[in-house]
Amino acid sequence: MRHTRRVSPISTTQQGFIAEREFMKLLMLGSDGELEVMAPATDDERRDLETHIRGKFSRGLIFQVKSTTYLDRRFKARRLSIHFPVAKSRLVSHPLSWYFFAYLEVEAMGFADPVFPVPSLEVHTHASPELRDDTWSFNFGASLEPDANDYWRKFQRAKTDVGRYVLQVLRAQKSTAKPLLTAGAAELPPGSIWVSAR
């Protein structure tokens, strides 16, 4: 069977916007509102979304959202194939830096199951990395079938489970955050008050 691609009725900019908002929805609804999600005003550091536990001044996760509106039809199984380049100087592999991969079904107006939240180091190591000059090239190729036997099977998540899963990852992080000031350690300006969370 040939590898074919249908023309999407939406632009790549529209697709990116929709995918990011759809992922926001999964995080907030799937965590019963326990996750706060923000989109940076700029994307100079390859941060599409940032999420943290609501009310906690602790480390959060940073996500790059990658989606496609077509499937690789060369195989009998439904297969996701997302190729993307990254400038060598901007490649970041860090425990708090993650990717989110999904098939955006235009007709269904949402993601298909399953979706793939994956740590950046896993992607940069196993998604067919190739360096040419000053640019890395990656291809995330994963089966969408529940009985898949590929490397990415362990990262499959149902849409309804994504929020709970990310919440679990964040709760497992060891917090190293320290307060900027300790009460009584410095004299506050007139009119200032201490605010603490309990």
pLDDT (tens digit, 9 = 90+) per residue, 60-69?
A: 999 999 999 9
- Judge whether residue 173 has pLDDT over 50: yes
Report the candidate in 36, 48, 58, 34 with the shortest Cα–Cα distance to residue 168.
34
Cβ-contact 80, 71 below 8 angstroms: yes
Q: Is the pLDDT higher at 45 or at 53?
A: 53
**Percentage of residues in the chain with pLDDT exceeding 70?**
80
- Judge whether residue 188 has pLDDT over 60: no
Report the candidate in 128, 123, 109, 7 with the shortest Cα–Cα distance to residue 65.
123
Delineate the domains of the chain, giving CATH numbers in brackets.
12-172 (3.40.1350.10)
- Judge whether residue 20 has pLDDT over 60: yes
Q: Is the pLDDT higher at 64 or at 56?
A: 64
Mean pLDDT of the chain: 83
- Judge whether residue 130 has pLDDT over 70: yes
